[in-house]
Structure 1
């Protein structure tokens, strides 16, 4: 358990100093570790940590749970509050996706689930579209979590850079295989791996996550994109019922991750 605590402790560096305990996330991470092979577990824990602790902040004293709103099509869920100012980042993301994915809103999961303040939710992202987004469609709410980790960050948090030659779909020892895992070597040498996760385990934070599509784009410079296309969550801070399917499909994730719009400029 000590290695889990150390990994997650490093993963939340730079995300402020929340006053609440991270015990619930450690407990969930430990369960994930038992369900995954050791090498893959470290990366999954980083994704969980990013999903639970590192949130965007646009500055000022606005509500950190809803930093912005952008519509990629008509919203199927009514709202009683006045529209928030449009987010340039959410608008750029919406422009890359078909309108039928629903309404896209940039959110802070830490603010939603833990009632974090803007200071606690503050962080710095590397990619221009990195962040956490709510997708509202047909009365449900799902989430997209996108994070780019450079070589140095991966070496600090996991002890090694990302390796495009690693087969994340391969089963090692007695660890369970990833469900519906697809590994694709791209023409430029990068490797895209996607799989489904039932998320059939629970933590101590009164939140239950629905099934999701997980993706990793491993790049030749040792960096890696990590993405979760989640059907949503139930419990404290939920914005609505689960979606019936992840907000972005496997092909939509591939198009998004392999496009130039997600890469840092320069």
Structure 2
């Protein structure tokens, strides 16, 4: 049960937001990076425009689910495959933080027919969905930060939320999770592991880092080898284990969007 709690929040992103949603048409990976390059050229040509230039160029936030009075939803069905203005800034920050990771772009991710999702930043400045291109392939990164209330609502209470608890022994029992490490750090409890999943007829590998913060919040970073919608996958996940750790422990993750 505790192993399910450790793996659940990120995987829920692939299910709960896309129920009953039809396929969404949009640009392919090549068009995504070409459009991003055009945006960068515009930014260099008009340095004073900043984020306003990105919005004018067509960068939009994905719509949120629920009524206007409802609390912000971290998961949204993407209206189109264009990055949010804030996501463009976050992607540029990630490239500087992880110089060897590749070309990083903010974009909704298509996990299968009708499963195009976008993560709207609610609690953390870097929350979002990103495509990572390098060496002729494209992988992805997904980042979410759950509030303490969300953690209790989704994961319940018990030993899982105890700082000293180690979920690794239970995680590896399913046979698809390997390389699990658990560290107690000043920032919180950091658990990282490798996971293999069958998606759209092919086996994909993912690295996950979950940081349970002392105040009860939980940061999740998932890096995958690719998606059918992104074209040729990477041979290994989009981030190395070291890059995953660097990203999970970066203080900017906890800044407000």
Are the equivalent residues in 1 in contact too, given 2:131–2:138 (CA < 8 A)? Answer: yes
Q: How does 1:75-154 map to 2 (within 5 A)?
A: 87-98=88-99, 100-110=100-110, 113-114=113-114, 123-154=120-151
**1:183 and 2:174 aligned:** no
Structure 1: tracts of 5 or more residues without a match: 1-37, 70-84
Measured in 1, the distance between the counterparts of 2:128 and 2:232 equals: 21
Measured in 1, the distance between the counterparts of 2:83 and 2:210 equals: 26
Q: How does 1:7-18 map to 2 (within 5 A)?
A: none
Measured in 1, the distance between the counterparts of 2:5 and 2:145 equals: 16
Measured in 1, the distance between the counterparts of 2:187 and 2:244 equals: 18
Distance apart, 1:112 and its partner CA: 7.4
Measured in 1, the distance between the counterparts of 2:118 and 2:153 equals: 21
Distance apart, 1:163 and its partner CA: 3.2
Partner of 2:242: 251
Specify whether residues 207 and 65 from structure 1 end up closer, same or farther in structure 2 by C-alpha distance, changes over 3 A only.
farther
Structure 2: tracts of 5 or more residues without a match: 19-58, 64-77
* Count of residue correspondences: 201
CA RMSD of aligned residues (A): 3.4
State the Cα deviation string for residues 205-254 of structure 1 (Å, max 9, x = none).
Answer: x46451111111111111111111100123xxx12111011111111111
TM-score of the superposition, structure 2-length normalised? 0.66
